[in-house]
Chain A
Amino acid sequence: MSRAVGIDLGTTNSVVALIDKDGAPRILTTEEGSTTMPSLVWYASNGPVVGERARAGLDHSPDCTIFGAKRLLGRRFDHPEIRRLARTLPFELTEAPNGDTWIQLAAGRAIAPEEVCGLILRELRRTAEAFLHEPVTSAVITIPAWYDAAQRQATKDAAQIAGLTVLRLLSEPTAAALGHGAHRGADRRFLVCDLGGGTFDVATVDVDAGVFEVLATTGDPFLGGDDLDRAIVEHLVRDVRQARGIDISGDAIAIERLRLAAQRAKHELSDAERTKLAIQELAQLPSGRGVEYSRVIRRDELELWTSPLVRKIEAPMLEALSRAGRRREDVEEVLLVGGSTRMPAVRKEVERVMGQEPATLRNPEEVVAIGAALEVARLDGTIEGVLLIDVAARGLSMSTVESECEMVIAQSSIVPTREHRLLATRSENQPRIEFDLWEGESPDPARNRHLGRYAVVDLPLAPAGDVLVLVEVTLDTDGVVRLSASELVSGERLTLEQIFHAGLTRAEVSRLAKQVAEAET
């Protein structure tokens, strides 16, 4: 018998959890005995290394050690945030033929972020299989709430590469509320803030007699612990220049060492008021002598450096409230999840914005994975009487060659939902109609994200305007878009052709899945 697990696929750390036979959630530990596994893949010369063991690669060959691949999943290469990110990453990014972001390895090989995430998921699957002694074939995977349709599809593709069937893509704040056990307590109105390694998510969630109703979800795709680390590193680089007179900003290895030290210091400063940061050999002088660097960092210094970033959490929180029509006084409990919420500065900021003290969770890093495991139990019927009602984080629009984008599905529509648009032929005996699908509600295509271009083909021959094509757009419970087209009058199903489509093709996904499966045996 095969089993299903709950997976929190994080930017920096991933967690796998399942529900024991006695109904208690259990976080599975990696071979190294840790409950979280770093989301790292080191493309070493003898094959990829995943997780804790890939940490060596960060020191060794940072240009082949991929971290934060989740932030690259399903993103367009020309997105300004990706451009900005590309400048600060130790590895190189490149543009795939369809405009997606891929990773360029030193050996001249370009890999899709789906493949990197697939390897991480496979490692988690192995961890679960080692614990259960039986095959694991399906999973609930958590994703940021603001993920667009392309990113959701990319996550599903990554799972397929890892040999996992996705039972459900669950949004992280919802998973956190579920993992927190909100369904067992009294009916409450929650605001869930999830500040993880790379992303910030907010959701307004109402719990009413076991029904979780997500009223609004927002977030910042480029705000998280990694960004805090980078801010600290920037200050340290400046400090090194002042103290030692050398500029290490172009030295990838030195920057990586500084980043790891900064991360450690950040963690320590969550409990201590001051900590010492010491690096034995930060860089080499032209003479060959190593440069040693050590410095005491105080918590107030850290808070000063990171305050511009910490302040960025306010806007998404207020937006989540206003979209749900809530004032901050209406929120009965504020949940803080994600590793970065351990920082006192973040807690203070949330308290300032919300005017109330957020609830303290014992395990802010693990609660999302527990939520995912509970979702597995909920779907297979072990837990009864709990229902999740989710909304679309973004609207969908459609446009034809000559028209502006027209909204089809509004933001905050309850999923699953279906809407339709009518397209008419414009010339006599027109054989096909092309249209584009966009995520976003703006009439200006430039402000929306292009999901794909499609064509309805083999139209019956008739005078202009006589053939009416009914295009139905379905948004399912995973937030994934499905399309179908039919002739309005006859009801006959028409063929839809995909001309351009973001993400990997089905063939690429199955090729990678096969490749990964072969490497395993």
Chain B
Amino acid sequence: MNQARTLHVRCSTWDQVDVFTTRKLRKGKLLSMKVPFETIAGARVTLGLELPNQLVVAIDGVVQRASPIAAEPGKIESSARTWIEIELTGLTDDVMARIRTMASEEADQHTPQLGATPGVRRKTAPVVDDLPADEKALFQHLSGELRRLRAAAVHDVLGVASDADAVQVRTSWKNLVRRHHPDLVARRNAPAISHLAEELTILSNRAYDRLRAALVAEGRGTIVGPTLSAPAGWLVGFDDIASGDGSVGPRPSQPRLQHVPDATPKPRTSPTLPPTNIQGGEAFEQRARVMLGQGQAQEAREVLAAALVVYPRSKSLRSLYYVATAMVALQDGEVMLAISQLENALAHHEGCHEAALLLDHVKKFGADRNQDLVRIFL
């Protein structure tokens, strides 16, 4: 049983070779397959990989795992199969490089076959040679494009820089769809070409979708339905916050954020407002703290909600938001809600000392002695 067996793998096209070396191998070395004989882990096998140019490459391997499949009753013994996993010890980088070189040389000489990856493999691969000359050129162009884009990262698919903004992403997606949409080749009445065009469009639509999601997560875009636009006026209201003297001039003519109408805190005259030169989330944080110290929990919460739209990932802002919510709850006498909010705050940001102090206080006194609480923030 321990003798070396030879397994013959035949690849009739270079694309199959490509699939073998890229998709079939796990971790570049492991190959799972069913074999029609019994074997055990540790057994040695030799894989004979027959390439389309009739060259057979012998690759040594060791069976790593073998799960025998009992012969089904009523079936002859030889139908028993074993599910094995082979580690191809003989598949060194050297061998791999050799196969790749041969594949690329052949690919240049032959017309590319449809089906670079299993995603487009079809039962009846269309024969490229049957197509008229101009369609053949188009076919080759599209399948080359498809192969290139399949391997590309999403922003490369759309041809934008990885930090492209919403407008760039949308424009380049539109251009790509204008170039590849299956409707544009429908008149040719060639299923293979329509299929390639559809695959290309799917690829661009997905890339657009992923990039949109990423932009939204970073707070650099808004999406409604299939659209993508730059966030209109996320920072509106910032000037109001920063004006420490309380004398707010005429409002800047920036577009206002529609769906957070309360986001703009009313400039309250207070001597303790933060200085004007603080930028970033800290300005919001300081202002919210001052408000909490003055017992204006509701207003502080609104400021923090607005701030979180701008800095969705700021832990301290988020925990402070929960603290403010807890303060509002305490003012309404809802101790349980307050406690859960404070625990939320700590869960988001362990170092939020206000939350810790408040939690102690609430556990000791309940909703009473609220007046003492504001001192925490001063």
Listed in ascending order, the chain A residues whose CB lies under 8 Å from chain B are: 167-168, 204, 211, 213, 215-216, 323-325, 378-381, 387-389, 391, 412-419, 429, 460-463, 472, 474, 476-477, 486, 489-493
Contact status B198-A491, CB under 8 Å: no
- Which residues of B75-125 have CB atoms within 8 Å of chain A's CB atoms? 83, 117-119, 121
Contact status B183-A388, CB under 8 Å: yes
A379–B188 CA distance with the chains assembled, in angstroms: 9
Contact status A167-B186, CB under 8 Å: yes
How distant is A496 from chain B, measured CB to nearest CB, in Å?
13
Which of A215, A462, A474 is close to B226, meaning CB atoms less than 8 Å apart?
A215
How distant is A347 from chain B, measured CB to nearest CB, in Å?
27
Q: Which residue of B lies closest to A167 (CB)?
A: B186
Chain A residues with Cβ below 8 Å from B19 are 491
Instruction: Give the A-B contact count at a CB cut-off of 8 A.
Output: 93
Q: Which residue of A lies closest to B118 (CB)?
A: A491
How distant is B109 from chain A, measured CB to nearest CB, in Å?
26
Q: Which residue of B lies closest to A472 (CB)?
A: B119
Q: Which residue of B lies closest to A324 (CB)?
A: B225
Q: Let me know if B224 is at the binding interface, CB within 8 A.
A: yes
Which of B34, B67, B226 is close to A413, meaning CB atoms less than 8 Å apart?
B226
Q: Which residue of A lies closest to B19 (CB)?
A: A491
> Known contacts A379-B183, A413-B209, A460-B32; is A387 also within 8 Å of B178 by CB?
yes
Chain B residues with Cβ below 8 Å from A204 are 225
Q: Let me know if B8 is at the binding interface, CB within 8 A.
A: no
> Known contacts A387-B181, A387-B183; is A323 also within 8 Å of B202 by CB?
no
Q: Which residue of A lies closest to B184 (CB)?
A: A387
Contact status A490-B24, CB under 8 Å: yes
Contact status B67-A462, CB under 8 Å: yes
> Known contacts A215-B225, A325-B224, A491-B19; is A416 also within 8 Å of B205 by CB?
yes
Chain A residues with Cβ below 8 Å from B119 are 472
Contact status A460-B121, CB under 8 Å: no
Q: Let me know if B208 is at the binding interface, CB within 8 A.
A: yes
Q: Let me know if B274 is at the binding interface, CB within 8 A.
A: no
> Known contacts A391-B226, A493-B121; is A460 also within 8 Å of B83 by CB?
yes
A380–B185 CA distance with the chains assembled, in angstroms: 9
A211–B178 CA distance with the chains assembled, in angstroms: 8
> Known contacts A379-B187, A381-B187; is A463 also within 8 Å of B67 by CB?
yes
Listed in ascending order, the chain B residues whose CB lies under 8 Å from chain A are: 19, 23-24, 26, 32-34, 67, 69, 83, 117-119, 121, 174, 177-178, 181-184, 186-187, 198, 201-202, 205-206, 208-209, 222, 224-227
28 CB-based A-B contacts, threshold 8 Å: A215-B227, A325-B224, A380-B186, A387-B181, A388-B183, A389-B226, A412-B226, A413-B226, A414-B205, A414-B226, A415-B205, A416-B198, A416-B201, A417-B205, A417-B209, A429-B69, A460-B32, A460-B83, A461-B34, A461-B83, A462-B83, A477-B183, A490-B23, A490-B24, A490-B32, A491-B19, A491-B23, A491-B117
A275–B128 CA distance with the chains assembled, in angstroms: 68
> Known contacts A461-B67, A490-B23, A493-B121; is A379 also within 8 Å of B186 by CB?
yes
How distant is B47 from chain A, measured CB to nearest CB, in Å?
15
Q: Which residue of A lies closest to B182 (CB)?
A: A477
Which of A215, A323, A391, A489 is close to B26, meaning CB atoms less than 8 Å apart?
A489
A463–B224 CA distance with the chains assembled, in angstroms: 44
How distant is A231 from chain B, measured CB to nearest CB, in Å?
33
A216–B225 CA distance with the chains assembled, in angstroms: 7
A476–B195 CA distance with the chains assembled, in angstroms: 11
Q: Which residue of B lies closest to A409 (CB)?
A: B209
How distant is B38 from chain A, measured CB to nearest CB, in Å?
14
Q: Which residue of B lies closest to A214 (CB)?
A: B226
Chain A residues with Cβ below 8 Å from B186 are 167, 379-380
A462–B227 CA distance with the chains assembled, in angstroms: 45
Contact status A378-B225, CB under 8 Å: no
Which of A167, A413, A461 is close to B69, meaning CB atoms less than 8 Å apart?
A461
Chain B residues with Cβ below 8 Å from A461 are 34, 67, 69, 83
A463–B65 CA distance with the chains assembled, in angstroms: 11
> Known contacts A389-B177, A414-B208, A486-B118; is A477 also within 8 Å of B198 by CB?
yes
How distant is A150 from chain B, measured CB to nearest CB, in Å?
22
A213–B32 CA distance with the chains assembled, in angstroms: 46
A456–B214 CA distance with the chains assembled, in angstroms: 33
Chain B residues with Cβ below 8 Å from A486 are 118
